[in-house]
Amino acid sequence: MNLNPIMLAAGAEILRIYATDFAVTSKSDASPVTAADQAAEAVILKGLSELAPDIPVVAEEEAAAGRIPETANRFFLADPLDGTKEFISRNGEFTVNIALIEDGIPVAGAVYAPALDKIYWGAAGEGAFMADVTDGVIGVARPIQVRPAAGALTAIGSRSHGGAETESYLKAFTVAEFKPAGSSLKFCLIAEGVADIYPRMGRTMEWDTAAGDAVLRAAGGRVETLDGQPLAYGKRNQPGDGDFANPHFVAFGDPAIPSRCPAP
């Protein structure tokens, strides 16, 4: 299933608005939203309805408006503009995210960073890839995979949502460097072997993580809850939390990291 044409079209809408003096408003949860979020989501919904009309789509802005379809065992998760704060600050580290979920697992996904001219995609059994994008055209696909963890780690974390819990978690490992990054690019940087570990101790939603998770899993990595279980998708009717809300999690490149790289 080729999601990339939809990714490029949504990214073009985002860049069109990025070049303007756009307005910023707040949703009911106080998170920011712009016309780019809404325009990109419209493109994604139209594109997915044409690509796979029988598969329901859970999309961030639709969900915020209370429009959530029944999801069953197979559905799409879409975040039209992950990293809205990065978009507003104009640092380029925002992405378009689409993932296909089957039985709670992100089996395929794509992440496009339109301002950085990079796109990542992957699927279970097919591997993960990245390419440069020039003038809206995807270049040569390059296979990517996680790197072996040899010695000290490179950790990566949120540029906008860091915290003491993350610092505390990383003390269990020998960390040589911490790289801040925005949006789902953190998963992709681990997938391409630039970083090793990404702990997220703040609140996220499934549409924030699914596409990057799919790419990382396809590249040989994993995303786990703090009790060592794979991060699951399609979580509804959760006691004490909302639909599609994630628990805290950690993304790893090398699956041996927990046993091979703890600090002495």
For every residue of the chain, which 3-state class applies, written as one string?
CCCHHHHHHHHHHHHHHHCCCCCEEECCCCCEEEHHHHHHHHHHHHHHHHHCCCCCEEEHHHHHCCCCCCCCCEEEEEEEEECHHHHHHCCCCCEEEEEEEECCEEEEEEEEECCCCEEEEEECCCEEEEEEEECCEECCCEEECCCCCCCCEEEEEECCCCCHHHHHHHCCECEEEEEEECCCHHHHHHHCCCCCEEEECCCCEHHHHHHHHHHHHHCCCEEEECCCCECCCCCCCCCCCCCCECCCEEEECCCCHHHHCECC
How many angstroms separate the CA atoms of 262 and 264, rounded? 6
79 labelled ligand-binding: yes
60 is in an annotated binding site: yes
Residue 208 assigned to a binding site: yes
| Cα angle 81, 83, 112; round to 5 | 55
Cβ pair 14, 114 in contact under 8 A: yes
Has 21 been labeled as part of a binding site? no
Is 196 marked as a binding-site residue?
no
- Residue that the structure tokens 């097919």 belong to: 126
CA distance 247 to 226: 8
* Beta bridge mates, 157: 180
Binding site residue list: 60, 79, 81-84, 208
Annotation: binding site for substrate = 60, 81-84, 208
Annotated binding site for Mg(2+): 60, 79, 81-82, 208
